[in-house]
A and B are shown apart, each in its own frame.
Chain A
Amino acid sequence: MASDVYSEYETRLPGLLLQRVKEEVPEKTGVRKIRAILDAVCEEYELCKSESGEAVGLIAAQSISEPGTQMTLNTKHFSGVEEMNVTMGLPRIIELVDARKKIKTPSMTIYLASPYNKGKREEVRLLAQMIKETTVEEISEQINVNLADQIVEIILDKERIKDLRLKPASIAKEVKRQISEKNVVSDGSKVIIKVENSSSKSKEVSPIFKLKENLKELVVAGIKGINQVLPIVENGEFVIKTAGSNLKKVLALEFVDKTTTITNDIFEIYAVLGIEAARYSLFEEIFSVIEQQGLNVNPRHLLLVADVMTSYGIIRGITRYGIIKEKSSVLSRASFETPIAHFTKAALAGELDSLSSITENVIVSQVIPIGTGLVDLYMNHKNKKVKDK
C-alpha cells in the first residue's frame, strides 16, 4: 500500500531522493502522512531547481573564480608530519581545468586489501618498497666492468634484495628481457653479463661502458612511474602514498584494495576506468583543492564544470584547444583567444554565425538570449476576431 504512494512520485522526484525519504519515514506512517511529506519534498525540490534562462555556467565561473582570487600560494605545513609534495592551490586548479595531459606531481593513494591494511608497519613498508620502481643501481653494491673478457658484473646488495623479495635469478631474467644481450646469468649474489662481440672486431671501450650506464637506470622491480612511496596511517589503517602514478599496474597487485585506490592523474583514470570515473574524480580533485584552501564553493558549480569538460566522452580542458574549440559561433571563439586565427579560418570555410549565444549578441549590441532576454512575445495580428470586427 505504502509502496504505491512512493511509486506515484517517481516521475516527480529523483530516485535517490525518493529512496532517502523512504528510509527516513517510519514504517508505520499512514498513507496520508507520507503523501503530505512527499508533497513538501516535491515543493522543496522544485525550489532548488534552476529557473530556465538562468546563466548557470557564468554563475559557476564566477562562483569559482571569486574565491579563487583569495587563494594563497603558501599552504600550511606541519613539522614532523609525513607529507608528500603535491601541487595544490591555484596551480593545481589551473592544471585540472586546462586538462593538462602531464600534471606536475602525479600521486596515488593506495589502499590495502584486508589483511594487509591492519598489518605491521614493517610489512607495509616492504609492500611499499615492492611498488616503488627499483633500478639496478639501487640494488647493487657495485657494477664492475671487465674489459678483457667483455664482462659486466653486477654485485648485488643482499640485504636490499631480501627486503624487496627479489632473487638474483629473477633479476638476471629481468635484465635479460630488457637489454639485448643473451648471456645473462646469475651467480650467487652476482649477475654476470657477457657481452657478445658480434660486429666490432676492434675492442671498443665505449659500448660496454654505455651498457654499464644503461644498466644503472634499468628498472628491475616495482612499478614503473612510481618514484617514491610513503606508508602512512590514515583512519587507523595503512595507506601508501606515492609520487608518480601508474593506476593500471597498481590495481593489478593482489594486496591492493581495488575499490578505493585512486590517483590524481585524471587522464589515467579516464584510460583505466572510463569517462564517468574521470568526471567524478575531476570534481573531487577541484573540490579538495578548494576545501583545503578553506574556501566555500557550492559543489554543484564544480559538478557543472566537470560535466562540461567530460560531456564529449573525452576530457576537454577549458582552453582554446578544448571546449572553446567546440563552440559553433565564430565571434564567440574569437573573443576568447587568438581572434585573427579564428577569423581567417572562418573566412576560408565560409562559416555562418547564427548569433545564438551570449557573447555574439553582446558584440552586435542585441538583446542577449538569457534571463529576461530569453523570451519573445509574438502576436498574430491577422487574428480572425479582429477581422470580424
Chain B
Amino acid sequence: MVDVYLNGKFVGDVENKDSFVNEIRNSRRKGKVSSTLSVSYDEVNNCIYVESDRGRLMRPLLVVKGGSVLIKEEHIKKIQSGEMVWEDLINSGLIEYLDASEEENALIAFYPEEITAQHTHLELAPFSMFGLCGTFVPYMNHSPGARMSVGAKNLKQGVGIYALNFPIRFDMDVHILHYPQKPIVETATTGLSDFNTHPVGQNIIIAVASHSGYNMEDAIVINRGSVDRGFGRSSYYRIDIAEEIKYPGGLHDRITIPEKEVFGYRSEHDYRFLEEDGIIGPEISVSDGDVLIGRVSPPRFLSSTEEYELLSEGERESSVYLKHGEMGVVDCVIVTESLEGNRMIEIKIRDQKIPEIGDKFISRHGQKGVIGMVVDPEDIPFSESGLVPDIIFSHNSIPSRMTMSHMIEMIGGKVGSLNGRFIDGTTFDSEKEEDLRKELHSLGFREDGTEIMYNPVTGEKYKARIFIGSMYYLRLKHLVSNKLQSRARGPVQILTRQPTEGRSREGGLRLGEMEKDVFVAHGVAMLLKERFSSDKTVIPLCESCGMVAVYDVVKDKGYCPVCGDKASVSFVETGYAFKLFVDELKSIMILPRLKVGKRV
C-alpha cells in the first residue's frame, strides 16, 4: 500500500505503485493527460506525489526505453521537412517534461553512447542544464561557476539591437549599438535563438598586457582608432511626453508657445526651438533647459504647492523641458491621443554615445571593466604584422578569477578570424582547445597565442611576448555620461530647505548619520557644524513663552504674537529642519518651549 498525494493533499492508496506510476506516465506520453502533469515515487516516505500545480520548473528530455532513444532518424527527417513540430514530439511521447521531483525517479544519460538498459531519459543536449543566457557563454565548462553567472547576467545589459523596428517604437531609456556583429566564437544557441540576428557586441582584437597601468583594478585601455572607427558606438533614446489634460469645468491644458504674461514664463531663449504649434521639430540639437513642448495650464487645478498664495487668475506655464544634464537631438515627434482621449505629444530624443573614460565593457566571461584610458592609435603596441589591439586587458584579472574560457575564446577568435570561419564554443560540446592551437600553429602563429610586440614610443621590442587574440566584447548600458553628477550650489526642497536629492534634480550628496559619526570621532566640531549648515536659518524666539516669534521688518525687531510687545525676542541660529521639527511636534499636541541661554 502506497499513499498517493495530489498536489500535496492525500487522495488515497494504491496496491501496486509501479503500475500506477507507469500508467500515468504512459497516458501522459500518449497525450491523454497534460504534459505538465508529473508523477513521482518517493522511496524515503513510500508515497506517490502527483503534481499539477503551477510554479514547478520543468525541462524537456528525450524518452529512452529499453536502452534506446525513442526518437529515430525518421522523426528527425520529418522535423527537417517540417512535417513534425515540437508539440508533435511531446504528444507522441518522444520528448517529455520532467519537474524536479520526477527527475529523482529518472536516470538521465548525457550522451547517446552511454545509454544502458537502466536509463530512462537522454538530455537534449548537455548544456540544457543552463538558462538561455548561460548557453551564450562559450567554453563555459572551463571556468568557475560564479564568474560564469556574472558573465551570463551581464549579457542582458549589453547594448545591441533589441528590436529591429526600433526607429518607429517609443521605448523609454534604450540603447542601440551602431555596428553590431555576431560572435566569431559562437555557441549552439547563438544560432538557434535570435542572438545572431540581434547581437549585443563586436569582435575585437584584445591584448593581455599592463600598458602604462591605466588598466589596473579592472579597467581597460582602449584604442582611440577603434573608437573613431565606431567600436562600441551607440545611440541612447529617451521619450518625453506631454498631454493636454482636461479638468472638470471645461478647462484644459493648451499645447502652444506660452505668452509672456503666463505665470512662470521661462525665457524667450528657452522657447526658441518651438514651432507654431508649440512643439519642437525633428533633428534639432537640444540641451538641458530647452523646452520641447510648450504648454500652459489653467491655474487652479495644479497640484504643485509652490505658489499657494500667489494664485493668479491667468494661466500657468507647464512646458516639458530637458532636465538637468540631459542633451541630444530630437529624433522623432508624434502627435497622438492618450488612453483618456486627450491630445498627447511624444518626443523621442536621440543622443550618440561615443565610448569614453568610465564606460563599462565586458567579455562574455564575467570579465567586466571600465575604460581607464583612451590611447591614440600610434601609441598602441603593435605586432610584427602590424596588428594593434582594440583593447588592452590587464593580466591581473585572470589568476584570481580563473576564467580560462576567456583565454580559450581569444585563441578561438584568432583562429576563426584568420581562417574565415566560425568557431563552435558550445559548453561541453565545443571544438577542442588542442585542435584550435594546432590550427593556429598551422597558420604560422605560435600555438600559445602570444606574439612579439613592439613599444610604440621607442620602437623597441618588448622583452615578453604578449598574448593577443580576438574575442567578442560587449558595451554595457551603464554609461558615465548618464551618471556623472556634481553640485556646489543648487536647488533646495521647499519643506526642509535642505538640498534636493538625485541626479535629475541636481541634488546634493547626503552626508549621512555614519558619516556624521566620523566627524564626531575626529572631534572636528566646527567642520561638522559647517557641513550641516545647508539649511541654516535665524529664527526669532520669544524669551518668555519659548515659541517662535515674528520678525517685524518695518520696525526691524522681533515681537511675540502670544506675549505682545513687552516680551523680548532674541534671534537664534539653527537649522530650518529643526524649526520644522518643532512645528511638527506642535501638530501632535506637544509644545516644545525653547529656552534661550544667557548671552555670552
Contacts and interface: CB of A to CB of B under 8 A. Distances in A.
Contacts of B523: 53-55, 370-374
Interface in A125-169: none
Interface in A345-383: 346-347, 352, 358, 362-374, 376, 378
B495 interface: no
Nearest to A51: B523
B521 A55 contact: yes
Contacts of B574: 364-366
A48 interface: no
A344 B590 CA distance: 7
B10 interface: no
A205 interface: no
B261 to A, nearest CB: 42
A376 B528 CA distance: 17
B520 A368 contact: yes
B575 A364 contact: yes
A343 interface: yes
B525 A58 contact: no
B317 to A, nearest CB: 36
B125 to A, nearest CB: 36
Interface string B521-535: 111111011001101
A36 B163 CA distance: 85
Nearest to B537: A365
Interface residues of B, number: 28
B497 to A, nearest CB: 12
A179 interface: no
Contacts of A367: 525-526, 529
Interface centre among B516, B522, B589 (most CB of A within 10 A): B522
B532 A362 contact: yes
A364 B578 CA distance: 6
A212 B521 CA distance: 64
B521 A58 contact: yes
A62 B526 contact: no
A374 B526 CA distance: 10
A370 B520 contact: yes
A344 B516 CA distance: 27
A364 B594 CA distance: 11
B534 to A, nearest CB: 10
Given A343-B590, A370-B525, A371-B525, A365 B520 contact: no
A37 interface: no
A59 interface: yes
B528 A362 contact: yes
B348 to A, nearest CB: 45
Interface centre among A62, A347, A362, A363 (most CB of B within 10 A): A362
A358 B520 contact: yes
B600 interface: yes
A58 B588 CA distance: 33
A368 B528 contact: yes
Interface centre among B517, B518, B532, B600 (most CB of A within 10 A): B517
A173 B588 CA distance: 66
Interface string B221-232: 000000000000
Given A365-B536, A365-B575, A372-B526, A62 B521 contact: yes
Contacts of B521: 55, 58-59, 62
A376 B598 CA distance: 14
Given A344-B590, A347-B590, A373 B516 contact: no
A365 B526 contact: no
A301 to B, nearest CB: 12
Interface in A55-87: 55, 58-59, 61-62
A362 B516 contact: yes
A116 to B, nearest CB: 46
A363 B520 CA distance: 13
B585 interface: yes
B573 interface: yes
A370 B536 CA distance: 21
Contacts of A378: 600
A190 B306 CA distance: 91
Contacts of A340: 588
A42 B564 CA distance: 63
Interface in B548-591: 573-575, 578, 581, 585, 588-591
B522 A371 contact: yes
Contacts of B532: 362, 365
A100 B438 CA distance: 68
Contacts of B578: 363-365
Contacts of A362: 516, 528, 532
Nearest to B590: A347
A346 B590 CA distance: 9
A368 B517 contact: no
Contacts of B525: 367-374
Interface string A333-348: 0000000100110110
A333 to B, nearest CB: 15
Nearest to B534: A365
A378 B520 CA distance: 24
B487 to A, nearest CB: 20
Nearest to B535: A365
A59 B520 CA distance: 9
Nearest to A352: B595
Contacts of A344: 590
Interface centre among B528, B578, B588, B589 (most CB of A within 10 A): B528
A338 to B, nearest CB: 14
A36 B536 CA distance: 55
Interface string B10-30: 000000000000000000000
Which 7 residue pairs across A and B have the least CB separation, nearest first?
A: A371-B523, A373-B525, A365-B575, A347-B590, A368-B525, A58-B521, A372-B525
Interface of A: 53-55, 58-59, 61-62, 340, 343-344, 346-347, 352, 358, 362-374, 376, 378
Given A362-B532, A371-B520, 13 more contacts: A54-B523, A55-B520, A58-B520, A58-B521, A62-B521, A340-B588, A347-B589, A362-B528, A363-B578, A370-B523, A372-B523, A373-B529, A374-B523
7 contacts: A62-B521, A364-B575, A365-B532, A365-B535, A365-B575, A371-B522, A373-B526
